[in-house]
């Protein structure tokens, strides 16, 4: 889902009109309308303000993946998962930071 679609969904889930969201963001209704139509994408600072105003995590607005290594911040794919002491995959850390139930660095 593109930013434009996510913005529409977030705005509607909060029961806001384009005018009301624009007022909270200190922009015009036309700016919000252009964002929602995908004509323009706001800059990162405006996206951060949208996230703050709506309470929506910035990662959801930016279409960022949900799973990151809690140590290094790398995006986690199933092949990159670290392992616990019993050999089970650990979805909190990558294999470069956590292997065999231990951190790979001090």
Query: ∠ at Cα 62 (9, 31), nearest 5°?
Result: 60
For the chain, the structural domain boundaries read: 3-61, 67-106
pTM higher than 0.75 for the full model?
no
At 59 the pLDDT is 77
Strands 89-94 and 102-103: unpaired
Strands 81-83 and 89-94: antiparallel
Residue given tokens 């290094």 in the structure block: 72
At 87 the pLDDT is 92
Question: Strand pairing partners for 68?
Answer: 75
Burial grade of 16 (CB within 10 A; 0-12, 13-18, 19 or more): middle
Integer-rounded Cα radius of gyration of the chain: 19
Question: Which CATH superfamily groups domain 3-61?
Answer: lambda repressor-like DNA-binding domains (1.10.260.40)
At 84 the pLDDT is 94
Please give the average pLDDT of every successive group of 10 residues along the chain, which has 106 residues.
88 96 97 96 94 88 76 86 93 92 84
At 61 the pLDDT is 85
At 86 the pLDDT is 94
CB atoms within 10 A of CB 4: 16
At 2 the pLDDT is 85
**CA dist., res. 35 & res. 42, Å (int):** 7
């Amino acid at each position: 889902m593109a930013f434009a679609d996510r913005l529409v969904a977030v705005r509607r889930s909060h029961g806001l009109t384009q005018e009301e969201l624009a007022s909270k963001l200190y922009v015009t209704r036309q700016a919000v309308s252009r964002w929602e139509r995908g004509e323009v994408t706001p800059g990162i600072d405006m996206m951060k303000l949208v996230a703050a105003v709506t309470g929506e995590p910035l990662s959801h607005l930016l279409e960022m993946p949900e799973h990151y290594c809690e140590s290094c911040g790398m995006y986690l794919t199933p092949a990159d998962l670290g392992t616990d002491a019993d050999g089970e995959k650990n979805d909190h850390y990558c294999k470069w930071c956590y292997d065999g139930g231990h951190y790979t660095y001090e």
